[in-house]
Amino acid sequence: MSRVVSKSLSLLQSGRRSLHVSAVSAAKQTMPDPIEHATGLEKYELLAKQAGNDDPFFLKACARGPGTKAEPTIVNAMDTYRSVGCVCNEEDTNIKWMWLCEGAPKRCACGYWFELKVHAAPDKYSLPL
């Protein structure tokens, strides 16, 4: 009986030691840089953010500008059309959606004017590898 107890005790102690040693050696390892690991559009976005452009695909909401017919609110896009949502009043709980097309300013139901400004999209064949 004492042999069984001593064998199980020695296995338990050696198990603790191996776990402790493996934890110390794992602490020396680091994760690779995400920019070196990324390719394509993901790398394009990470490089743009590193250069200071935190919204390279124009996905963040923007505030309305003057919104007159002479000075419409400019909406940026990478295509010749885009769906735009307007919160007409601050206390509204719904969004009024409309399609904007290049060269055709559009008026929302609340009276604000919007116009689309097209930017060149990244060429998929020249994206960083």
pLDDT score at 79? 94
Give the Cβ contact number of residue 11 at 10 Å: 10
Residue segments in the chain with a per-residue pLDDT below the cut of 70 = 1-27
pLDDT score at 32? 83
Cα separation, 98 vs 96, in Å, equals: 7
Those residues with Cβ within 8 angstroms of residue 50's Cβ, 6 or more apart along the chain or in another chain: 35
**Is this prediction's pTM over 0.95?**
no
Cα separation, 73 vs 115, in Å, equals: 6
